[in-house]
Amino acid sequence: MDEVFSLDMMSASFQNILFVTATDIHPHYIILKVVLSFFSLLFHLPINNMFSIIIGKLNSLIPLILLIDFALVKLRKDFGWLFSSIFIFLIVTMPKMMLYGFKNSNVFVGNIFHNFKFLFAYKNIVKSDNKNLALITLFSLMGVYTHYSME
């Protein structure tokens, strides 16, 4: 149902999307509209067709790729290759994560913010710092405003 609603929203203007989703905290519709508009202009295709479904599903994979990149760059630097490899293995093999990886959903975006929050919480435990506290607060707020489950 979420995918159908998301793709139906793509036929609306940016103003309409903002108006209809004003009570919803998910920025997913705006991100999807920007990506679909870009590819629509690039390939001269209308937004409401099979092409938009494919691009919408590929758009949902971007956060998964960013989460793997986070593990390869940041976690590897702070905790080593073994920890980073285990993290990637667990992310890629979790059934629900793979399910959401191919849906028009913003669960992965919230997951990225959640992981950043925990990284800086750990750093704050190791070395208390105002910068770490500010980053914990920032990523917590970004997570909450991305998906309800990040509260």
User: By three-state DSSP, how is residue 144 classified?
Assistant: helix
pLDDT tens, 71-112?
899 889 989 999 999 989 988 887 776 666 666 666 667 778
pLDDT tens figures, 122-141:
989 998 889 999 999 998 88
What one-character-per-residue DSSP string does 103-137 give?
SS--HHHHHHHHHHHHHHHHHHHHS--HHHHHHHH
Domain-by-domain residue ranges, the chain? Answer: 2-150
Phi-psi region of 80 (alpha: psi -120 to 50; beta: other; left: phi over 0): left
Helix (H) / strand (E) containing 142: helix 130-144
* Listed residue (104, 134, 73) closest to 9, CA to CA: 104
